Amino acid sequence: MERTRAWGAITALFTLAACGGQATESPTPPPGVSVSLNQWRSDEAAHELEVSVRNDGDTPVRFLDVQLVTGSFATLPPTRVDSTLGRTPRTDLRIPYGEARCDPATIPPVRPATVVATVQAGEGPARRAEFPVRHPDPLLAGLVKAECGAYLLRRAADVTFGDTWTRAGRTLRGVLLVTRRQGAEPVTIDELGATTHYTVRPLSGRSRPVAVLEPGTPRLKIPVEVTPARCDWHAFAEAKKAYLFPVYGTVGTGERRYLIATPPAPVQQTFLSYAKDVCGVGG
């Protein structure tokens, strides 16, 4: 009986070691390894960011998966990366991040964040490690402000693209629709922003404000015209932010914020066909 118990204990310890020893290992990062957070412009549309790893040690460290954990954003499952990093001042590991956790009345302060990863230092076992992120992190603070600002603006009114767009000379014309969602305060559309590839302007020529959704008005149409901001076709083919149009507005006497209005896929194709024709390019 005693031999059976001893063998069972040995088997349990072996099983823990084979699984990376996560039940007994400390989550302390490997010596000399630290992380920071960054974001390229191309990451914004995909809701991704870069976990930038610095390894000042001589021991290669293998990152099997990576995860961002913070109270400011919904926690997503770990992202498989399987990347072995030797000594490096910075190597970026791209991961998605969840939706911001916003307050219905105000923009919340950014919460502390940790990067959690399964790592293997040298020939050692794979284990869970927790990398602290400096607080307050400027990237996360900016993302919270942008996403929760858009959330507050969109709670009052949403801005969408109309379905019908027609050529008028070298421009494309249609409407933006401002639709009240809740509340009775005026919603002021202050400015229409351009994207990397298109410029959108109100046909009225008005700016700051472009238009006002008055109290008691459920919907407002803003006639607009679209023109290409650039005509290099390769850039159009590779564009990730071509259809993320910023719209700046205020609710009542509140703070100026912005949301991102994205045309539906058929309207995006209309924009692309128009740009192809007006720029005189093909393929």
pLDDT single digits (tens) 45-89? 899 999 999 999 999 999 999 999 999 999 999 999 999 999 999
Look up residue 37 and give its two tokens.
Answer: 């957070």
User: What pLDDT score was predicted for residue 231?
Assistant: 83
What pTM did the predictor assign?
0.82
How far is the CA of 253 from the CAs of 103, 155, 188, 249, in angstroms?
19, 15, 9, 11
Distance CA 1, CA 141 (A): 60
How far is the CA of 152 from the CAs of 30, 54, 106, 135, 277, in angstroms?
41, 37, 8, 24, 38
Greatest alpha-carbon pair distance for the chain in Å reads 92
Residue 10 has pLDDT above 90, yes or no: no
Distance CA 139, CA 100 (A): 13
User: What pLDDT score was predicted for residue 233?
Assistant: 67
User: What pLDDT score was predicted for residue 41?
Assistant: 84
Strands 33-38 and 48-55: antiparallel
Q: How confident is the model at residue 25 (pLDDT cuts 50, 70, 90)?
A: low
Amino acid at site 215: P
Of 15-29, 120-134, 147-161, 175-189, give the lowest mean pLDDT range.
15-29
Residue 144 has pLDDT above 90, yes or no: yes
Look up residue 116 and give its two tokens.
Answer: 């959690």
Choose between 24 and 253: higher pLDDT.
253
CB atoms closer than 10 angstroms to residue 21: 16
Choose between 236 and 126: higher pLDDT.
126
User: What pLDDT score was predicted for residue 7?
Assistant: 40
Distance CA 49, CA 52 (A): 9
The DSSP code for 104 is: S
List the end-to-end C-alpha distance of the chain, in Å, as a whole number: 77
User: What pLDDT score was predicted for residue 26?
Assistant: 76
Residue 281 has pLDDT above 90, yes or no: no
CB atoms closer than 10 angstroms to residue 20: 17
